[in-house]
Structure 1
Amino acid sequence: MTHRFVFPTLALALLLAGCTSLPAIDPAALPATPAAFKETDPRWTAIAPAEAQPRGEWWKAFADARLAELVERAGRDNASVQVAAARLAQARALLRDAQASQSPQIGLNAGALRQAEPGAGGRGATLVSAGAALSYEVDLFGRLSRASEAASLDARSREALLQSTRLLVQADVAQTYLALRAIDTERAIVGDTVEAYRNTLRLTERRVQAGDIAELDAARARSDLASTEAEAFALERQRAQLEHALAVLVGEPASGFSVAVAADTPPLPQVPAGVPSTVLARRPDVAAAMSQLQAARARVGVAQAAWFPNLSLTATGGVASPEVSDLFKWSARTWGIGALMSLPLLDGGRREAGVQSARADFDAALASYREQVLVAFKDVEDELAALRLLEDQSQAQARAVDSAARATALSASRYRNGLVSQLELLDAQRSELRNRRQAVQVKAAQQQATVGLIRALGGGWS
């Protein structure tokens, strides 16, 4: 009777298993891949993910030893990187746990049982036993293999997220350090500007005392001087905040961390023409989103497998005896072999809810992947556009600096020949300093955009 029930049930389960399938990833739900980036030449194209490609030490393109040291320290001591590494170790442990479910389970057991013998008037008897047990769940419908696949994809996603965290921290260190260096250069220019305003004020006050000009001119000069001194204090505050941010990034207390002042800024790396399109495929956040999508797809299969029977094989062997002295005699041997198939019939809709939940997770992962790809293209286009426009702005600003420097030189020559007043010379010097400061700010923006492009491309372009 039992055999007549089990085998038709198994045949029906196998038939149902053949009718189920994992959800397909609809290409129409994914963003269209452009043939090339709008902001560069057609050789910039999008291809399949390649997050395992090496990125190299891209920060060395800035040729700054202090920057290289800070990036390396952050990669070792940054708290966010350490958290991501721990999450990866956790995901790999869960993968090993899922893989262990597909292996036979072997255990040893020993025990002693004191119980009343049936029909003996309540007289007690002792049974001593020792043995081994083996169990193995047959993965008939792929539930265990799909769970292992999902865990493997989770681990791959965590590995990509660790790469993403490292890249984010590296970029943050580079951008913060370069901003600090730009402020150092700007502070030096503002200091020169303050000195020029002081000279202007001294000259103006002498002319007021001589009755050549009105007190209004002196008041304006004092205002200009005070305003520039306030800008110098603001730059001091910004530098302190950037230094403290660097301390957090490299994993040190801000109270004991400092970066020496340097007036020069690192050189600006040039983005080479015709960079191969493969660099965009290394973005780890896109790779992580794809792995999460594939893991969600595999978990749909795990949820579907809950509708089918579980088949477990067991085997036991050992010895049992009422006397410890007889425990290891041949006559005390005992063994057993069994198979257990279980199939829930009524569960109040729990299995169907599990399948619906898994499909909803898959839909959410698909939408998340689509958004991540769109963001990746946006990031690259943003930084390419910024670099293109900043290059034009830098050239215009360089012309302004050259013209201002020429005006200062001409004013100095005219002043030596007695053709203009010292006040006109000081005005020309202030104009030159103002243009030089704006040139420093443009170069700082170019450096920030370059690091932003490196991050958008997944780390460098070599």
Structure 2
Amino acid sequence: MQGLGRLGWVAVSGLLVALLAACSVEPTYKRPDAAAPAAFKEAPIAAKDAGTWKAAQPADDAHRGEWWSVFGDATLNQLEEQAAAANQDLKAAAARVQQARAVTRSARASWFPSLDAGFGPTRERLSPASQFLPDDRNVPTQTLWRAQGTVSYEADLFGRVSSNVNAARADAQQSEALFRSVQLALQADVAQNYFQLRQFDSQVDLFRRTVALREDALKLAERRFKEGDISELDVSQARNELATAQADAVGVARQRAASEHSLAILLGKAPADFSFPETPLAPVAVRIPPGLPSALLERRPDIAAAERAMAAANARVGLAKSAFFPQLDITGSFGYESATLGDLFKWSTRTFLLGPFAGTALTLPIFDGGRRQAGLDQARARYDEQVAQYREQVLVAFREVEDNLSDLRLLDDQMKAQNDAVNASQRAAHLSRTQYEEGQVSYLNVIDSERSVLVSQVQASQLQGVQAVATVNLIRALGGGWGDDTKIGNASPQQGAAQDTQQMAKR
């Protein structure tokens, strides 16, 4: 009966610990609402009417595919592959993910007991009083040998351990979302730098042709000056225009060199080891459907990172609350103990410390001067901060999409008007040059008309670059993809996400 009573006490004690562990004080996490429109303001009418509003289902880990392939540029595809394999910022982000995952594994280890083994001597001299001997009695110094194992375990009372695991898990998910954000930023930066570099190539080509025209104009002016048709002033003006065009060409070449160096760094290369052949930019005709605002909340990795930060802060509120409740640390030891090393492993030297609550330490907080309350207040304020940052990030995401939609819409009109200006300026330059050769107008008319041609052509080239960059920015603002039916490549979203995770682990 006595043994049965002990077993009953053990069962009751274990059941009590299990019930206390199930009583987690962590607040139930629910993602806060964020104000979101039913459609984008700057989206085309057809895009606004397509589809209906639905609640966002986070899909930040869905495989985006090689979204840059929509531009149909083999060179850009190669550059993106090189950046994904060698960019140092991406490698650092992948390393941070591995760190966060290791922290999660460390937190999960608290769910299990830890087992240690030790061996060694202890040299000690006990006091006479501790042995109930007279004060003048001599107690000899002795050496005690021990070889034993120790088991320790912290019971998950009131969800203390679980809250810590939940916080660590959310931190790891946030790190993964931040990795995808860095990955998306890298892909967009490579595409933007690539198009900007090609825009500079267009300007280099434009100024090269302008310099050639200025050289022909100078030769014409010098010939007519020798024939006595014009004064030396016209020759000086022609030389000034040629020198100005040459200086402008050098300035564009300098900007191109800096852009090429930036692209090299994105590819993980030293600028001295990278060179890009001159390739003028062709107009980008890709049109990106923006989809629904709810899809934006699903796909943006920075929004997912902000949401995971809220989840981690919520779990840490529970961790701070658990500090107000008792903490139970269970320990036990077993092994051998002997006064001599030779007798250490004899059966008679075995020792242990066991029992339903043997070796336990139940700690009940009573007074700490308000330290625990301050910790709880800090955790709650941190959660409120993360909620505000999440909602702000959502608003920023909507603004970025609207900005790029309006840029692309207005750029179409601006580029049409600019092309008309180029055609008109070229016609005016042709007429002024013809009239100058016939002696009807002065050389100043030729200079003004040719300057107008150059300015309008440079502006048209810049608008083409701005349009290409705005297209990339829109894709980036949409989270690196668009539309549920978009198929880029052969991999499914699930397979692609698995491939991304494997590649990140390899880095």
Q: TM-score, normalised to structure 2's length? A: 0.79
For residues 86-142 of structure 1, give each alpha carbon's deviation from its aligned partner in whole angstroms, at most 9, with x where no partner exists: 111111111111111111111112222232354562322232221212121111200
Identity of aligned residues (%): 44
Inter-partner Cα distance in structure 2 for 1:237 and 1:343? 71
Counterpart mapping for 1:48-447 below 5 A: 48-116=57-125, 118=131, 119=133, 121-262=138-279, 264-265=280-281, 268-273=284-289, 275=291, 278=295, 281-337=298-354, 338=358, 339-403=360-424, 434-447=455-468
One-letter amino acid of the structure 2 residue matched with residue 73 of structure 1 = Q
Match of 2:472 among 444, 451, 455: 451
C-alpha distance in 2 between matches for 1:83 and 1:426: 54
CA distance in 1, matches of 2:377, 2:77: 50
Task: Name the SS for the 2:111 alignment partner.
Answer: coil
Unpaired stretches in structure 1, ≥5 consecutive residues: 1-6
Question: What per-residue deviation string (whole Å, max 9, x for no partner) do you get for residues 148-201 of structure 1?
Answer: 000000000000111111111111111111111111121111111111122223
Letter of the 1:346 counterpart = F
> C-alpha deviations, 1:237-257, integer Å up to 9, x for none?
001101111121112222232
Please, what TM-score do these two structures have when normalized by structure 1? 0.86
After alignment, is 55-64 or 40-49 more displaced? 40-49
Question: 1:191-223 CA distances to partner (integer Å, 9 max, x unpaired)?
Answer: 111111222233234434444444444443333
Contact kept? 2:25, 2:158, Cα under 8 Å = no
**Deviation string, structure 1 residues 373-406 (Cα, Å, up to 9, x no partner):** 1111111111111011111112223334455566
Q: Is the 8 A contact 2:313 2:386 kept in 1?
A: yes
Q: How many residue pairs were aligned?
A: 445
Offset, 1:409: 7.8
Q: Is the 8 A contact 2:218 2:238 kept in 1?
A: yes
Q: Residues 407, 82 of structure 1: CA spacing in aligned structure 2 closer, same or farther, 3 A cutoff?
A: same
For residues 148 and 24 of structure 2, the distance between their equivalents in structure 1, rounded to whole angstroms, comes to 43
CA distance in structure 2 between the aligned counterparts of 1:135 and 1:361, rounded to whole angstroms: 32
Match of 2:170, SS state, is helix
Note closer, same or farther for the CA distance 1:20–1:150 as it changes in structure 2 (3 Å cut).
closer
Q: 8 Å contact 1:131–1:316 — kept in the other structure?
A: yes
The answer to whether the Cα contact below 8 Å between 2:25 and 2:159 also exists between their aligned partners in 1 is no
Letter of the 2:180 counterpart: Q
Deviation at 1:281, TM superposition (A): 2.2
Contact 1:196 1:430 in 2 (8 A): no
* Distance in 1 between residues matched to 2:336 and 2:308, nearest whole Å: 50
Q: Is the 8 A contact 1:178 1:447 kept in 2?
A: yes
Please list every run of 5 or more consecutive structure 2 residues that lacks an aligned counterpart in the other structure. 1-11, 487-507
Quote the Cα distance in structure 1 between the aligned partners of 2:216 and 2:262.
37
Change beyond 3 A, Cα 1:269–1:88: farther
1:21 and 1:106 map into 2 onto residues whose CA distance is 29
Q: Report the residue type matching 1:69 in the other structure.
A: Q
Map Cα deviations across residues 385-437 of structure 1 (whole Å, 9 max, x no partner). 1011111112223334455566678899x79x989899789987775555443
